[in-house]
Amino acid sequence: MGMPEERGRTGSVVKGAGIAAGAVGAAALGWIGYSGLFINHHRRLYSALEAPLHHFHSRWAGRLAYYVERGGEGPPLVLLHSVNAAASSAEMRPLFDRYRGTRPVFSLDLPGFGFSDRSPRDYTPELYTGAIVDFLSSEVRAPADIIALSLSSEFAARAALARPELVRSLALISPTGFSHAPRTGVPGISRVFTLPPWNQAFYDLLVTRRSIRYFLSRSFFGPIDERLARYAYDTSHQPGARNAPLQFLAGVPFTPHVLHDVYRELRAPALVLYDCDAYVDFGRLDLVLRARSNWRAQRIPDTRGLPHFDRPEETAAALERFWSEIAASGSKTAVH
């Protein structure tokens, strides 16, 4: 049996821990109440891009939205935004604006984002892959050059592997799947956070204006794009906006072993644009570059995941060299 003073110290520690736990619980309950009563989850959502907005029905993913400018000639260009807490087609605005009028340009609102279906369901790699295949076959209807950002690179590669006749080339900006430790979600976040009563309140913590600006600042080398920050806040405060992002944080949309099972099996020409990224690394990129002649990579210096914002001219030059080589080769199977 311990001495009286030892028992006293132990009791004080237990009592202090109980008080702290109670305070945390009260704060959590208070935030849940504030989230439900005072945060507007029905903000007016306007177009992410200054272009016509269309809708179609995907067999895989339901009602999907996309922006399109059909002017110009040549292969269609398809833009796929990333998946994150506040993702949208606004992430692809510099590329859409650069190529509109010179060739047909499409930007798809992925399932769970923008004006597309945001219903509660499993946001799996199969769902996103099926949505992209449906979009290419139903709306684009010609072999496309795809530019995909971050995790959408995995979906685009899966779509190209499943339906190679729909994809002329892939340009992957800061793609996931090449890290030494493949990402399968955020450590400490599980699917429990996709459930009520805390799912909305937890999501609301991630998409405050301050949080959005912080996370964006980690992806910009220079100042953040203010239009992108404003749109990120508005699109993340919509009915159902939490559904896809919370599953992303829990790792649901990631493809296990994507490097070996998908990237190394691709036959379409593929370009990786990268530099430094706060959320992924590219330590295993050389494994694909050495093994597959249809892959190449271009570093865009002084960027942190969004080179088309920070270094638009260098990004465009790399893309256009890539497309020129494909045209010169007259082949979809290799870029040397």
Average pLDDT for the chain: 89
List, in order, residues 6 or more apart from 121 with CB less than 8 Å away. 127, 243
Domain containing 10 equals 1-38
Is residue 334 assigned to a domain? no
Judgement on whether residues 192 and 316 belong to the same structural domain of the protein: yes
CA distance 51 to 106: 10
Judgement on whether residues 23 and 67 belong to the same structural domain of the protein: no
- Only one residue has tokens 């404003």, namely 230
Is residue 151 assigned to a domain? yes
CA distance 295 to 291: 9
- Burial of 269: CB neighbours in 10 Å, binned 0-12, 13-18, 19+: buried
105 forms bridges with which residues in the sheet? 69, 77
Judgement on whether residues 239 and 145 belong to the same structural domain of the protein: yes
270-274 and 295-299 strand pairing: parallel
Cα angle 55-87-47, degrees, rounded to a multiple of 5: 45
Is residue 43 assigned to a domain? no
Q: What is the pLDDT of residues 299-328, one digit of tens each?
A: 999 999 999 999 999 999 999 999 999 999
Judgement on whether residues 123 and 6 belong to the same structural domain of the protein: no
Judgement on whether residues 58 and 32 belong to the same structural domain of the protein: no
Angle, helices 125-135/152-162, rounded to nearest 10 degrees: 60
- Only one residue has tokens 């649901």, namely 252
Query: Which DSSP category does 174 fall into?
Result: S
Residue type, 174: S
The pLDDT tens digits along the chain (336 residues) read 455 555 555 455 444 444 433 443 444 455 465 555 558 899 999 999 999 999 999 999 999 999 999 999 999 999 999 999 999 999 999 999 999 999 999 999 999 999 999 999 999 999 999 999 999 999 999 999 999 999 999 999 999 999 999 999 999 999 999 998 766 555 555 555 666 777 898 999 999 999 999 999 999 999 999 999 999 999 999 999 999 999 999 999 999 999 999 999 999 999 999 999 999 999 999 999 999 999 999 999 999 999 999 999 999 999 999 999 999 987 444 443
Judgement on whether residues 22 and 76 belong to the same structural domain of the protein: no
CA distance 225 to 216: 8
Count of domains for the chain:
2
Is residue 280 assigned to a domain? yes
Report pLDDT for 329.
Answer: 87
Is residue 76 assigned to a domain? yes
Report pLDDT for 20.
Answer: 38
Judgement on whether residues 269 and 159 belong to the same structural domain of the protein: yes
Identify each DSSP E strand in the chain by its residue range: 53-58, 62-69, 77-80, 105-109, 144-149, 167-173, 270-274, 295-299
Angle, helices 199-206/4-38, rounded to nearest 10 degrees: 80
Neighbours of 231 (CB within 10 A): 24
Helix/strand/coil for 107: strand
CA distance 148 to 80: 5
Q: Are 51 and 69 in contact (CB under 8 A)?
A: yes
Judgement on whether residues 145 and 203 belong to the same structural domain of the protein: yes
Is residue 128 assigned to a domain? yes
Q: Are 128 and 150 in contact (CB under 8 A)?
A: no
Is residue 301 assigned to a domain? yes
Is residue 336 assigned to a domain? no
Judgement on whether residues 20 and 108 belong to the same structural domain of the protein: no
Q: What is the pLDDT of residues 141-177, one digit of tens each?
A: 999 999 999 999 999 999 999 999 999 999 999 999 9
Judgement on whether residues 28 and 176 belong to the same structural domain of the protein: no
Burial 120-134 (b: 16+ CB within 10 A, else e): eeebebebbbbbbbb
Query: Which DSSP category does 179 fall into?
Result: S
Q: Are 284 and 179 in contact (CB under 8 A)?
A: yes
- Output the six-digit token pair for 237: 């405060």
The answer to whether the pTM exceeds 0.85 is yes
CA distance 164 to 262: 13
Helix, strand, coil % over all residues of the chain, rounded to 5: 45, 15, 40
List, in order, residues 6 or more apart from 186 with CB less than 8 Å away. 249, 250, 251
Judgement on whether residues 201 and 306 belong to the same structural domain of the protein: yes
CATH value at residue 57 = 3.40.50.1820
